[in-house]
Structure 1
Amino acid sequence: MEAFKLWQKQSVYCRAEPEIIESPCYKTKGRPADGRVPDHYEYYVTGSCTVAVQTRRDAEASLGCFVLATNDTDTARLDAGELLRTCKSQQQVERGFRFLKSPDFLVSSLYLKKPERIEVLLMVMTLCLMVYAAIQHRIRYELKRQSRTFPDMKKKPAQNPTGRWVFLCFDGIHVLSVNGTEKHMVGISERQSTIIFILGSTYQEIYS
């Protein structure tokens, strides 16, 4: 009973009415004879757990609750819902800067000492990230709007490919020059044509 009382004290939601079961025990093996007095008894504590309805409702209502503070006092510009969406969208920005710092960015290492040069490099990298995020957003938006798909890395149809994966998939396209003036794009695959088509006439003219 002490163990049950300890569990009941530590349990936040569950409650149970304990039931003590008495079990006779015999030293000899086999079925005991009728009327034989047990050598000793063992006791077990059991019971069914229950959760009060109001307790469960209060717990479900508190799921995912957290404090969201801001110094933006212009309530007319951001309401609580928009503020929450803006806060959650920060992870996309952080994911983008993580991509910039990774070796997959495919740029040579640069060593700069002057603060102004470092600032310029950061500006260029941030601009690259903005273009990268814009093209990724455009591709995902158009795929969904036009009900089309693009094969992911596992060759399964998807509507949310990363910009990096799309860039890698464009490897293999070449420009064929005829007589030094006439140029043709060759080596365009079906998946590359999908991206070119959904991005509109400007991209279609470039790869035509």
Structure 2
Amino acid sequence: MEAELQVANLDHLGLVASVIDELGLVELTDEILPGHAQNCISSGRVVKAMLLNCFGFLSAPLYLFSEYFASKPVAHLLGAGIEAGHLNDDRLGRVLDALFESGTTMFF
């Protein structure tokens, strides 16, 4: 049985994702913003996706996030089991609301 070779273009997003991981931003965000059982993706991973989008030289509006990440290796950048469809505008909006409620000055 031959292994299937898959090629994905990370561009510079792999470096940005590595720096975010090195800083522990995902874990810090998950500590501050509690998750919910119905969430497919944690708040920290959503914030990481938003940062990757900002550093992607093309800032997609919330309703186009899924399309922006459709051509990216999402599982490699954000974590195993995460798909572009998990980054919908409802989930992103809920995380932004939670960030606002927690106090963005204290958070950042």
Query: Do the two structures share a fold, i.e. TM-score over 0.5?
Result: no
TM-score, normalising length: structure 2: 0.28
- For the pair shown, the structure with the greater C-alpha radius of gyration is 1
Q: Which structure has more strand as a fraction of its residues?
A: 1
TM-score normalised by L of structure 1? 0.17
